[in-house]
Amino acid sequence: MAGDQLERAVEVPCPAMERAAQLLGIARLGAEQGAAVQAGVDIGLHRIGRGPHHHQRVIDDIVDDLVADLGNFLDPARKLPRLAPDFLDFALVPVARKIALGGDILAALSLGRGFVAEDGRRRDGVAIEPSGKGSAYSGCLVQSEDGIEAFYTRHDPICQVQTQHSAAAPEFRNESDKLGPEGRDCRDPFVHWCAATGDWRMLIALPCSWTGAADDPPSILEIWCSPDRITWALAGEIGPWHPPGVMWEVPVLVTIDGTDVLIMSLVDRRDGATDCSVHYWLGAFDGMRFSVAAGFPAEGVRLDHGPDFYAAIANLSAGWPDTSSVIIGWASNWQAARTRKWHGGSRGGPISLPRSVVIRGHRLCQSPVPVALDLPHITGCFSDRLTHGTLTVTADRVRGQLRVQTLDFDGASAVDWAGVSSTYRMFEDNGLVELFIEPEGVTVTAALGV
């Protein structure tokens, strides 16, 4: 650990907004291609403070009061309670925030209110302004031989069209013309270098509409290719794997131990529901298609078994304190985000602990990053039932299920239990409960509020 190298954040004087967990981090500068990653997490060896200004795993209301600066364009601005998009533009106010990273990643890090360029210059203020093309939505950052570049979605609220654009660091001012895909629901570009094809690939989500109408086409991902990240052509598609009414968002493609892992966030809007979850698929990506591994469930496997883990994003940079794959997520859901209160009466929700991810057998297994083990937490044995406040977790080891219950959630999902008993670590931070069960590598995230 190099220590807490940066501290900045912004406050958003506005209501909660949708899918705001996409805080971005960048792969460190180096010879290897940096993965297009989205990360903004608080890691350190200090104890947790209660105020939003404290620097350890702050409950920073990422969809309400505090977001990282790049969230102004990397976070979409749809807000609840209406079941249709609405749009916000954000002002910035300084609030202290820290991130601890190892290596020389400071030169390649964009986080908080300032952007630190390779030459040491710092850019403060809004990263990407609203324009005549519309508000700025979700996207990613990539590191190439040309430097750091942002890819993101613009949403035109008048024409109801979403287009993709790019802009180079550190100013993000020279925005490109529209790149590749566009449409009414066409967003969340994930751009990465594809070694199999020797060019750049973009995953773009084409979700069904927020209304969840039965006659909507099902959600898919499109795959676009480019030799230069400027000229793009359609190369293939992924899906559909779910029925109409299940939205696909925030695609992420990573490789862990030689296996490609596709991660997506789902919102089940059928029958007016707002069930949020993150699913993943193991398989192989050849640049044209994603082939799901033989025997892997076609509908995917739930990544977190609680009600409050969405928009999972990955960072595989060597600049992290932990050298393994790391993911974080927004620890809330769209049904509760606007009504659940956090400290100070604010709404929105926190970010999860960063989690190390490995593949064991045919499943992703999660554990707290090593530095998190120095934070206060509870350990114990878990056989069939665990209750903590309004959270109840029940293991059905015969049927291979885990049931999670809170005041507003009751759901069961599949778990490959290793035996008749497990151990657990439980972290609680101002109403956010994160349960890690070993050796299964199962997680339960429940934002209970305060």
Compute how many other C-beta atoms are within 10 angstroms of the C-beta atom of residue 416: 14
d(CA 185, CA 120): 38
The domain made up of 4-371 is a member of CATH 2.115.10.20: yes
**Residue among 282, 264, 253, 109 nearest 195 (CA):** 253
The reported pLDDT for the residue numbered 348 is 67
Residue with tokens 């030689």: 258
Q: What is the pLDDT of residues 153-168, one digit of tens each?
A: 999 988 899 999 999 8
d(CA 432, CA 351): 9
**Residue among 42, 12, 13 nearest 25 (CA):** 42
Q: Give the amino acid at 204.
A: I
The reported pLDDT for the residue numbered 319 is 40
Q: pLDDT 10s digit of each residue in the chain, 450 long?
A: 333 333 334 343 444 444 433 333 333 333 334 344 333 333 333 334 333 333 333 333 333 333 333 333 333 332 233 323 333 222 222 222 222 222 222 222 222 333 444 445 455 556 788 888 888 877 787 877 777 888 899 999 888 999 999 998 888 888 899 999 999 999 999 998 898 999 999 999 999 988 877 778 999 999 999 999 999 999 999 999 999 999 999 898 988 888 999 999 999 988 887 889 999 999 999 999 999 999 999 999 999 999 999 988 876 443 444 456 888 888 888 877 777 776 666 666 788 999 999 999 899 999 999 989 999 999 999 999 999 999 999 999 999 999 999 988 999 999 999 999 999 999 998 889 999 999 999 999 998 866
The tokens describing 13, both together, are 């004087």
d(CA 96, CA 413): 39
For 224-261, b/e burial (b = at least 16 CB within 10 A) is bbbeebeebeebbbbbbbbebbbbbbbbbbbebeeebb
pTM, two decimals, is 0.72
Positive or negative CA dihedral for 106, 12, 350, 263?
Answer: negative
User: 327 vs 18, 162, 254, 312, CA distance in Å?
Assistant: 19, 27, 11, 6
The reported pLDDT for the residue numbered 82 is 30
State the pairing for strand pair 122-124/135-144.
unpaired
The reported pLDDT for the residue numbered 343 is 65
**Residue among 161, 138, 135 nearest 150 (CA):** 138
DSSP 115-163: EE-TTS-EEES-SS--BTTBEEEEEEEEEETTEEEEEEEEEETTTTEEE
**Residue among 121, 93, 128, 114 nearest 6 (CA):** 114
The reported pLDDT for the residue numbered 247 is 94
Q: DSSP assignment, residue 303?
A: S
